[in-house]
Amino acid sequence: MLAITCPGQGAQKSGFLSSFLELDAFSAQIDELSTASGIDLRLHGTESDDETIKDTALAQPLLVASAITCVAELGITPNYVAGHSVGEIAAAQIAGILSPADAMRFVAVRGAGMAAAAAATPTGMSAVVGGEPDDVLAALEAAGVSPANINGSGQTVAAGSLDGLNTLAENPPERARVIPLPVAGAFHTDYMAPATAELTATASGLEVSDPTVSILTNSDGTVVTEGRDYLERLVKQVTNPVRWDLCQETLLNAGITGMIELVPGGTLTGIARRAMKGVETFAIKSAADLDGAREFAAAHA
């Protein structure tokens, strides 16, 4: 049983698309998705530095386009698909809920709206690694920040005001480290509420199909069987926490034996190696990994 996973914001790295753009079909589709999103994905995937692509309005479309194009290049169909945060939009396209162009229109609005919301108030996110779950949640509450991502295997991402995150760093939970993340705002909290109105309007105008692949939602880790339901959940997830721990639990219970993380891979497979014992993982980081990913998929699908 094979799962494909799509990474979220923070996974992007300067130049990570360079090797893939040497592939004709990949290159052509990136240009098509650039047109759909109104963003020069080729430029930002090859030449822009890390600080530039930290911008939410650029990072989100870049990550979604990369995942969509990567799975098209692979030419494989998984048993399950799931995305982390903005990766859910790529997952929706892979599962057949949205067309590639509509996925890019949706993520462009999401990224721009969340960037504007982040600019309105200085906020951020920090990873809390280690510690007992109850101690971690208590420390977050004491600092006045929220658990935006509960990733499992001892990793929770806190989000909130910069003052609150500084307080958390100065008073970390016992046996835990607090690591600032390269993101521009407190995603998956009420700070992002201004982004939801336009996103709701955009979603209502998209053509939506029911999924052809089992797709998980970040809201509670369950399989969603109706496309419109999934799209509505995507809008709500802008202000709701990501329960990646529950997505992993569902995959384990389903009997998944292998998990591929699409480009830029490494984050979700790293979590899975700790939280999903017995499941083999494969992270796609460059075009040189594609043949290995196909072999991996053949062994597990």
Catalytic residues: 85, 188
The order of strands in the sheet holding 258-261 is 223-224, 214-216, 80-83, 2-6, 258-261, 280-283
Q: How far apart are CA 262 and CA 9, in angstroms?
A: 13
Question: What letters, b where the CB count within 10 A reaches 16 and e where it falls short, cover 135-148?
Answer: bbbebbeebebbbb
Pairing of strands 155-161, 123-130: antiparallel
Q: What angle do CA 63, 65, 66 make, to 5 degrees?
A: 65
Among positive and negative, which fits the CA dihedral 28, 34, 37, 41? positive
Q: What are 59's two structure tokens?
A: 């990072």
DSSP codes joined into one string, 200-258: HHHHHTS-----SSEEE-TTTS-EE--HHHHHHHHHHTTTS-B-HHHHHHHHHHHT--E
DSSP codes joined into one string, 134-147: HHHHHHHHHHT-EE
